[in-house]
């Protein structure tokens, strides 16, 4: 009789217990472009470690299909099969989703080196100001915040919805340059080996890539935030960042480049610019309008 009661209690517990208590929670991230895209490796590993550091019983899983940012934001906002993505922040994105305001690339997503056709090297050789840069035709993703940033600064920009097509536009000399973050450009040039990195300029604007989740998913928000904060405290964040990107920073030869700073009108007021632990460089100074205007000098020994 006692055994029957125990079995009956177990069955009732199973029937009444919510599913999320019975199975490990799955957090699906939006896969972008191609499965072999090296740009996914760092943010995925960082996110996995953050979830592990938070002691949350959450398993990270890729979406089965490639999902562009615009659609991913809609899916996450409505909690429809995608739960997290990493993307450059903007006022609009922070209104739609919950941002974890820890810049995973320490601001280097806004430090841009141009991918150009070898025929265009001389065209860039005498450019040293934003005024001279306004004669160059750039390409950017049609739903990327960078597009609006470049247009706001009076630059000529064409847009394209296809990532690989933008490289083709440079190859065919339909545009002059495709600005890429210095942490992105080197693996891309291994794929598009007939193109090259413009050797003289660094186009720089304040920007942050955050993890974003649905406002309907506070548990996942807390797990990621607490995990990242723990990694910052114990040094794991810096170790992983250095493992992936110190080589790319050295390859960029920043000390040899002329820096052209742009304004970022999309930067939210809550961006933690005054916390030097979060940025690769010193805190970004602010202009009279209250938007961050430019980045400080690079320091490879900066902490989180």
pLDDT at 197: 98
DSSP characters over 10-23: HHHHHHHS-HHHHS
HEC-encoded secondary structure of 169-227 = HHHCCCCCEEEEECCCHHHHHHHCCCCEECCCEEEECCCCEEEEECCCCHHHHHHHHHH
* Local mean pLDDT, 10-residue blocks, the chain (304 residues): 50 43 73 62 95 92 88 92 94 96 97 97 94 97 93 97 95 98 94 96 96 95 97 96 95 94 95 93 41 36 33
Does residue 62 lie within any of the structural domains?
A: yes
Does residue 66 lie within any of the structural domains?
A: yes
Number of domains making up the chain: 1
pLDDT at 283: 38
Residues near 303 by beta carbon (within 8 Å), at least 6 away in sequence: 238, 276, 277
Q: What is the domain extent for residue 241?
A: 20-106+208-247
Does residue 231 lie within any of the structural domains?
A: yes
Does residue 287 lie within any of the structural domains?
A: no
CA distance 118 to 195: 6
Q: How far is CA 162 from CA 37, 114, 143, 173, 253, in A?
A: 14, 18, 10, 17, 30
Give this prediction's pTM: 0.81
pLDDT at 289: 36
pLDDT at 113: 98
CA distance 292 to 128: 21
What's the CA dihedral at 122, 123, 128, 131 to 10 degrees?
170
Show the DSSP H helices in the chain as ranges: 2-16, 19-22, 41-53, 69-77, 91-96, 121-124, 130-133, 145-152, 163-171, 185-191, 218-234, 236-252
Does residue 143 lie within any of the structural domains?
A: no
- DSSP state for residue 6 in the 8-state scheme: H
Among all chains, which residue has been given the structure tokens 């209104």? Answer: 95
Q: How far is CA 67 from CA 28, 33, 72, 182, 211, in A?
A: 12, 8, 6, 24, 16
CA distance 90 to 93: 5
- Look up the CATH number of the domain holding residue 216: 3.40.190.10
Does residue 101 lie within any of the structural domains?
A: yes
pLDDT at 68: 83
Does residue 265 lie within any of the structural domains?
A: no
CA distance 197 to 185: 8
């Amino acid at each position: 009789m006692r055994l029957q009661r125990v079995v009956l209690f177990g069955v009732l517990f199973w029937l009444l217990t919510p599913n999320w208590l019975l199975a490990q929670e799955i957090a699906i991230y939006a896969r972008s472009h191609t499965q072999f895209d090296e740009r996914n490796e760092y943010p995925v590993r960082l996110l996995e470690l953050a979830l592990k550091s938070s002691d949350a019983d959450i398993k990270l899983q890729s979406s089965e299909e490639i999902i562009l940012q615009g659609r991913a934001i809609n899916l996450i906002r409505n909690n429809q099969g995608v739960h997290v993505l990493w993307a450059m922040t903007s006022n609009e994105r922070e209104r739609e989703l919950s941002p974890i305001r820890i810049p995973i690339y320490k601001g280097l997503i806004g430090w841009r080196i141009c991918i150009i056709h070898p025929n265009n090297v001389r065209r860039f050789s005498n450019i040293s100001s934003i005024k001279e840069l306004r004669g160059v035709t750039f390409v950017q993703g049609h739903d990327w915040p960078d597009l609006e940033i470049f247009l706001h600064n009076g630059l000529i920009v064409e847009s394209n919805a296809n990532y690989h097509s933008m490289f083709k536009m440079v190859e065919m000399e339909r545009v002059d340059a495709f600005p890429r973050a210095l942490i992105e450009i080197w693996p891309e040039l291994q794929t598009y080996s007939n193109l090259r990195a413009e050797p003289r300029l660094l186009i720089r604007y304040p920007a942050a890539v955050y993890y974003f989740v649905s406002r309907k998913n506070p548990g996942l928000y807390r797990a990621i935030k607490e995990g990242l904060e723990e990694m910052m405290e114990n040094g794991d964040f810096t170790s992983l960042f250095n493992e992936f990107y110190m080589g790319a920073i050295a390859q960029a030869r920043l000390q040899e480049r002329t820096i052209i700073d742009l304004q970022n009108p999309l930067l939210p007021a809550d961006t933690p610019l005054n916390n030097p632990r979060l940025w690769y460089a010193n805190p970004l100074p602010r202009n009279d309008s209250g938007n961050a205007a430019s980045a400080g000098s690079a320091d490879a020994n900066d902490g989180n």
